[in-house]
A and B are shown apart, each in its own frame.
Chain A
Amino acid sequence: MSTDTESRRTERTISLGGTRTGRSETGQTVGPGAFRMLALGCVLVLLASIVSVLRDVTQVVGGTDSLFVLAGTMLLAATLLARLIRPRTATIAAVTAASLGFAYYLEASGVGVGVVLSATESLLADVVTLVTGLSLLRTVEASALTLGLVPAPVFLSWYLALRGRYALSVLPGGFALCFLVLTGDAELTITLIGTLAALGTVGFGELDRRGGSIAQADLLAVLFALIIVLSLSVTFVPGNATGPVTLDRGGPSSLEGAIDSAGQRSGFTGQVDLSPEVRFTVESEQASYWRTGVYDRFTGDEWVRSGQLQSPNGPINSPPGKYDVARQVVTAETELGVMPVAPQPLSVSKGAAQYAEVTRHGQIHPSTTLIEDDSYVVESAIIDSDPASLKQAGTNYPDEIEEYYLQLPEGTSSEFDDRTATVTEDADNPYETAATIESYLRSSKGYSLDIEQPNGNVAEEFLLEMDEGYCIYFATTMAQMLRAEDIPARYVTGYTSGQQVDDNTHVVRGLDAHAWVEVYFPDHGWVSFDPTPSGERDEVHLDRLQEARENGRENVDTDESEDVPIRNDSDDGSDDGRSPDPTEPGPPDNETDPTNPDDPPNSTDPNGTNTTDPTRPDPGTTAAQDGDGDDADNPLAITIPREFLAFTAVTIVGLAAAVHRTGGRELYDRTIGLYWQRRRDDPARDTERAYRRLERLFEREFRPRRPGESPRAYVSALGAQAATTLPTDRSAESGSQPRSQGDPQSRSDFRSDPQARSHSQSPPTPDPTDPRVEHVLACYEQAIYGTGVTPDDAATAIEFVDELARERLPFVGPNSDAASNADRP
């Protein structure tokens, strides 16, 4: 009988194992060969995950084809060499390949291989920066680094896998993946896939080598699920807000947050809100857009600032052409993670220089968060160029400008280029091109903060598909269009000039956050353009501020700004005389383009002094910089369900495997199974299970049965035990008639009348001397050792155990007790 049960059990395990691993295509006919294929497949997946991460980089900076060719070549080489060379030779080859790749990168970045000998420390520092979250995209020579990174891990991993050294083969690939995770390039999904593939390689490799069965893969399934669940719930890898370990696109749904949530990247969101809180005040004779970030590399869905920060020792690069120097005193009114400054900053005051860092692009950043009332003095170069001279500037761009500011993501569609060409076909020089694009965007697209974030290349989507957007869409699209026309352009973020409260004081609020474009002109430098339709924008913003004031929100005003009436946008718009204000160095400075009468920047100056206007009816919103970023409800609502489903599925599979592994079946038996038992056709099995339940009941009350103890011996031992402990309580409770448990006479009395016995029973625990216990025990013995039980007996046994179990329950037990007490004379 038991052998039958055993074999049945084994079968069940196998079939469960087959479905559980989710690789049911291998079915039950899993042999060693299948495991080998699985292991090799996992290695390929691991390598594919690495290459796909690198491809994301090359798609931005170029070189995708080379990447694939390189990876393919390495795979082929490894396949060919797998049988020819020994592991040591292969390792040497791989190390050589890695060194060559590195040398290629150094040469490409113009440093030269010699730097390895001369500046090892700074190279090490670079590596450290990379692995602490500096994206590959932010390295200046991202393409070269990417290509250099591919050959060694691909070759070595595949080579070792083919030689059957699965555990070893995971090392190079895993190392590379690890590196990419640390740089923040590998996204969650890719990382997960790679990790699981690595795990799968080792697991299946082991099964292959040891000749395991698919049933043993349950541990693997548990590990898979554990990794997935943990990686989705634990965050410790350094990265950015959009880094590899967040499910959503990192909370900020305020405009400010969308623009400046991270210093190195500027991403896109859909719907955003405006914070009316005052961020900082500027004392400056000239109003200006206050720039906080400059970005040069566009990935299609975010802007990346390449290069690293340096401390501002000495003067910052000044523009090549003529400029005026403007001095500003900026005072933070709240915690501030940026240093707003009028472009282009030349120097910062001594005190501020300690915590200021300068990017490659000449923008300053604070190395620590500024707190309220921190202030610093900056001198900026205000480019003094009129449109006429800009038109003459020509296209003789310096090499480094051409190299970094003409980048378009690979795969930018020809439609985008075509449309750009159509828009700009009448323009004769870069300045006119820029002005044309600016006016085209202003006139053809509407301003709205309530939009859905597009998929794919944002610039393309905005130009070709969307009708509305806000500053970051306008600015991105313009920058990309300019680049498509081979005009160096970059995307900058910051704040508009804000509310002017007296002659030279400007109050800047969160809702003044803005993004615009800078275009390079030889011999002049970077000139700002703002493609965002300012009129609509101002309206929206003004409404928002007024609403905030009405609601009595704090931090909406400074002492000065409170009393100053906000000038309406219509005032601003009608005030044509104000726009050609020569002191205002803002982007589409009227002074710079008066010759173009149909150029909208002239008529509607975007940096009007009162850009402060609220519209958004969401008072609960604050900027991400306040530290309490809101839920990005829209993107979340779309993405979560699917991910959540997958998450749940994985958890369930993992739990199922774990349950199988740890004998959760027993757990069920111990809990629910105590109180309920499914009837089967087989009375013997039913009886057996009934007895097991009874035994578990006893187990809880007394002790488990010892292995050498027969069922009957166990029950009678418990009976003896109960007789020594219970009688005193029992006699006290039942009063007149103390009952001796050991007395065979009384026991046989009870046996004759089980019903009466059960009712007069005072302790809720199953009593080992209960006649129902005896019945179950007798049935069990009859079933196991005797000639079998009748279905009726089995049913009675189950019923008795049900009763006994339920009497233990807190509510059922006492009730029956009370009833029996009432019956008593």
Chain B
Amino acid sequence: MTDADPTSETVLETPPADETAVEPLALSTVETIGTDIAENVSRVIVGHEDVIDHVITALLGRGHVLLDDVPGVGKTMLARSIATSVDCTFRRIQFTPDLLPTDVTGVNVFNQQTREFEFQPGPIFGNIVLGDEINRAPPKTQSALLEAMEEEQVTADGETRGLPSPFTVIATQNAIEPNRTYDLPFAELDRFMKKLHLGYPSPEDEAELLGRTVGTHPIDELESVTDRKTLVRAREAVSQVQVAKPVRKYVTRLVGYTRENAHIGVSPRGAISLLRASQARAVVDSREFVTPDDVQVEAPVVLSHRVKTNDRARDGSDIVADALERVPVEERDG
């Protein structure tokens, strides 16, 4: 069930001391990293520049990504290319209906030699974790992810273990076959910074895509463009990007709008996610501060899956679109 990844044997670094001493990168360097990754990924993924950008900003903004689409549009390929672009531990979990929580988190195994119980880390212990077809696993297994995604730690047999840093989950979800899948718990959905849709490629892109399949698959030749430590520092830099009060207020108004106009609106965690994504977006757009434009770019993918409506004709993305159109960007005179 767990992917026999060759890197799984590498020693896992759990660096709490390391984290405090992280020195943020210069923002221009962060921007370059973002561009590099994007370029790298686009060697494998044809088109979908916006989705690639979103995944990168999520990566820089310390968020998890949920790719939701029909099978065969390159969800897994995208996740793998991202992971490959960063030189760090990549784990893959193929979710199935019989997957158990311990299959994800890891178990204590009795070591015959030392005659002690030894923790065998599960696949969740990676820097980039690909959760494939995540909605095929039952809620019990899903719940194993909750703690990991939010707090970057895992508790097994009463013992809490921190996850490596950076820790990013890129999950894919099958949008069809509703009878053989479980809906993700809302609490888990909320833990994903973004929910993205790839969609079918445009005819030109598809032609290009077909052309690339001749010979070796591009992903096999993909090389990393950055490493784990750089990514940690880049994240630190992004988290320090300035968010002025007007922008914070704008985010508050947007979130408030969804709460007033939908059954369940965006949670404060959603608002935080939006700000983090916007910070990353600002850096990618070579700015040292967040503008409402960043918020507007990020809001549809960050907020839509957190909004629940009772109205079948309108889903969360409609509400968010309304909010973006109606909520004033700037407060005008009182």
Contact = CB atoms under 8 A, between A and B. Distances in A.
Interface of A: 1-2, 6, 9, 706-713, 781-782, 784-787
Interface stretch (B142-150, B197-205, B238-246): B238-246
14 contacts: A1-B246, A9-B333, A707-B327, A708-B323, A708-B324, A708-B327, A710-B293, A781-B289, A782-B289, A784-B330, A785-B246, A785-B290, A786-B244, A787-B289
Contacts of B328: 707-708
| 10 nearest A-B residue pairs (beta carbon) | A707-B328, A786-B289, A710-B292, A708-B325, A785-B244, A710-B329, A710-B293, A785-B291, A785-B289, A712-B293
B327 A712 contact: no
B6 interface: no
Given A707-B326, A708-B327, 5 more contacts: A2-B246, A707-B332, A712-B293, A781-B289, A785-B290
Given A6-B334, A9-B334, A712 B291 contact: yes
B288 interface: yes
B243 to A, nearest CB: 8
A137 to B, nearest CB: 56
Nearest to B246: A784
Interface in B293-330: 293, 296, 323-330
B291 A706 contact: no
Nearest to B328: A707
Nearest to B333: A9
Given A708-B326, A708-B328, A785-B290, A1 B334 contact: no
Given A2-B331, A785-B290, A787-B288, A706 B325 contact: yes
Nearest to A780: B291
A710 B295 CA distance: 10
A52 to B, nearest CB: 45
B247 interface: yes
A786 B326 contact: no
Contacts of B323: 708
> For B287, B328, B329, B332, which residue has the most chain A Cβ atoms within 10 angstroms?
B329
B327 A787 contact: no
Interface residues of B, number: 26
A786 B288 contact: yes
Contacts of A706: 325
Contacts of A712: 291, 293
A359 B271 CA distance: 91
A706 B332 CA distance: 12
A710 B334 contact: no
A550 B104 CA distance: 126
B247 A785 contact: yes
Contacts of B296: 710, 713
A781 B291 contact: yes
Interface in B218-260: 242, 244-247, 249
A710 B329 CA distance: 6
Contacts of A6: 334
Nearest to A712: B293
A786 B325 contact: no
Contacts of B334: 6, 9
A392 to B, nearest CB: 91
Nearest to B282: A785
B253 to A, nearest CB: 10
B292 A786 contact: no
Given A1-B245, A1-B246, A707 B329 contact: yes
Nearest to A783: B244
Contacts of A785: 242, 244, 246-247, 289-292
B5 to A, nearest CB: 42
A786 B329 contact: no
B251 to A, nearest CB: 12
A592 B329 CA distance: 100
Contacts of A781: 287, 289, 291
A781 B295 CA distance: 14
A781 B245 CA distance: 13
Contact of B291 (A1, A2, A707, A710): A710
A784 B323 CA distance: 22
A708 B299 CA distance: 13
Nearest to B295: A710
A713 B295 CA distance: 12
A321 B244 CA distance: 106
A213 to B, nearest CB: 15
A781 B287 CA distance: 10
Nearest to B323: A708
Nearest to B249: A2
A781 B330 CA distance: 12
Contacts of A782: 289
Contacts of B292: 710-711, 785
Contacts of B246: 1-2, 784-785
Given A710-B292, A781-B291, A786 B327 contact: no
Most chain B CB within a 10 A radius of its CB, from A9, A710, A781: A710
Nearest to B332: A707
B329 A787 contact: no
B179 to A, nearest CB: 40
Contacts of B327: 707-708
B288 A713 contact: no
A40 to B, nearest CB: 34
Contacts of B249: 2
A299 B307 CA distance: 84
B28 to A, nearest CB: 16
A708 B331 contact: no
Nearest to B245: A1
Nearest to A716: B293
Best-buried of B245, B291, B325 by chain A (most CB within 10 Å): B291
Contacts of A9: 333-334
A579 B140 CA distance: 137
A665 to B, nearest CB: 10
A711 B247 CA distance: 13
Nearest to A710: B292
A695 to B, nearest CB: 10
B244 A784 contact: yes
A659 to B, nearest CB: 16
Nearest to B244: A785
B293 A713 contact: yes
Nearest to B289: A786
Contacts of A710: 291-293, 296, 329
B200 to A, nearest CB: 26
A784 B246 CA distance: 7
A38 to B, nearest CB: 28
Interface string B104-148: 000000000000000000000000000000000000000000000
Contacts of A709: 329
Most chain-B Cβ atoms within 10 A of its Cβ — which of A706, A713, A787?
A: A713
Contacts of A713: 293, 296
Contacts of B329: 707-711
B36 to A, nearest CB: 21
A4 B26 CA distance: 33
A332 B249 CA distance: 86
Nearest to B325: A708
Nearest to A9: B334
Given A712-B291, A712-B293, A787 B325 contact: no
Nearest to A10: B334
Nearest to A706: B325
Most buried by B among A707, A709, A785, A787: A785
A713 B324 CA distance: 12
A538 B290 CA distance: 97
A9 B332 CA distance: 13
Contacts of B287: 781, 786
A324 B288 CA distance: 115
A662 to B, nearest CB: 14
B326 to A, nearest CB: 6
B313 to A, nearest CB: 22
A667 to B, nearest CB: 14
Nearest to B324: A708
Nearest to B322: A708
A661 B334 CA distance: 15
